[in-house]
């Protein structure tokens, strides 16, 4: 079945990528794994075998080697759009709710809105079950005025009315909201406080990553302020305050300054980046990874002006157990090293 026939029969997701000038020869299935979030290699291979992966408009096999300037196009199966917004009875950790807004504490592992590979079980699915007639933003995502990553835990404010959505969206645009995150990062962050500034844009080599472009020739302006909370020999607990809110901002900024987030698989933080070569140390780090099987990032504090009362509201959330246990493990390790 051709792509044209598929498009007539079902609603599919379309992806189109151009290999950059420095692209080294790479199998097309591996190439696409770097671009399409949550797509499995098997699914890409099946798409190729069905003739739905094209390079320069010619169907290719999964082992085709992508070269510089190749135009790679792929079509993947996707459920109909109307099925993406199904109300699901999923428990929400609600810190505050009134007629205008709702503040929720999102657990790690929950996707904020439906998308490729995550068609159910999202925060939006839970929200539309809990609240009728949520307003939609410009991307047709009910209630959302900001988001956090799937494996980041913490606070989100959701708009329940069109007025609240417009008011809150303007606050995020004007940078008048307050957002504080706690992150555990690799290495000893030497300065007690600091400012990271550098444009953030999609990586030219791995489309699932964001990169920092310090010269400002690409990406969007981004600023992160940080303060060291505690040092644990080979990792540091930091508080991060966002001046801007770019995709993966904290993750990209800290990797840029050499302090990748602990166990951040997408940015290489799931490797032993600092410490000793001793097997015992590596086993200790692996145990920490098992306790905290995600990037060590939590959206702890959220502040904003209420749309109707104009009161500035500030909410705090507890650091989740997986991060607490990992931090305690590092704390004990540091104490034992000193003894």
Residue that the structure tokens 């010619």 belong to: 58
How far apart are alpha carbons 39 and 33 in whole angstroms? Answer: 7
322 labelled catalytic: no
Active-site residue, from 29, 70, 98, 149: 149
CA distance 239 to 231: 12
Sign of CA dihedral 111, 115, 117, 122: positive
Q: What is the DSSP string of 143-170?
A: TBS----TT-EEEEEEE-SHHHHHHHHH
Give the closest residue to 186 by CA, choosing from 264, 299, 280, 105. 264
Which residues touch 139 (CB under 8 Å, ≥6 apart)?
Answer: none
Length of the chain: 339
Q: What φ, ψ does residue 315 adopt, rounded to 5°?
A: -125, 145
Q: What are phi and psi of 323, to 5 degrees?
A: -70, -40
Contact call for residues 301 and 279 (beta carbons, < 8 A): no
DSSP, collapsed to helix, strand or coil, labels residue 214 as coil
Catalytic positions, please? 149
């Amino acid at each position: 079945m051709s792509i044209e026939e598929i498009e007539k029969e079902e609603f599919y997701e379309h992806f189109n990528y151009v290999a950059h000038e420095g692209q080294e020869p790479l199998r097309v299935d591996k190439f696409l794994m770097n671009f399409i979030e949550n797509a499995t290699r098997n699914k890409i291979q099946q798409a190729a075998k069905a003739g739905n992966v094209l390079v320069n408009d010619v169907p290719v096999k999964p082992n085709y080697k992508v070269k510089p300037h190749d135009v790679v196009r792929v079509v993947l199966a996707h459920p109909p759009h109307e099925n993406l917004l199904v109300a699901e009875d999923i428990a929400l950790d609600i810190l505050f709710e009134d007629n205008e807004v709702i503040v929720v504490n999102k657990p790690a592992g929950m996707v904020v809105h439906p998308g490729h590979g995550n068609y159910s079980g999202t925060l939006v699915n839970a929200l539309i079950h809990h609240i009728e007639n949520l307003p939609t933003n410009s991307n047709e995502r009910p209630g959302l005025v900001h988001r956090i990553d799937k494996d980041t835990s913490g606070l989100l404010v959701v708009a329940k009315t069109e007025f609240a959505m417009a008011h809150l969206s303007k606050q995020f645009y004007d940078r008048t909201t307050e957002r504080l995150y706690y992150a555990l990062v690799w290495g000893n962050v030497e300065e007690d406080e600091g400012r990271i500034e550098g444009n953030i844009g999609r990586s030219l080599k791995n489309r699932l990553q964001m990169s920092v472009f310090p010269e400002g020739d690409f990406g969007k302006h981004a600023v992160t302020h940080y303060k060291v909370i505690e040092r644990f020999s080979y990792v540091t607990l930091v508080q991060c305050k966002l001046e801007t809110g770019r995709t993966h901002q904290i993750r990209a900024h800290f990797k840029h300054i050499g302090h990748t987030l602990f166990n951040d698989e997408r940015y290489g933080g799931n490797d032993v980046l600092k410490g000793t070569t001793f097997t015992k140390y590596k086993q200790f780090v692996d145990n920490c990874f098992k306790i905290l099987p995600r990037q060590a990032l939590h959206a702890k504090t959220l502040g904003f002006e209420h749309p109707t009362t104009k009161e500035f509201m500030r909410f705090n959330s507890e650091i989740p157990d997986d991060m607490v246990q990992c931090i305690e493990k590092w704390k004990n390790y540091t104490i034992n090293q000193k003894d």
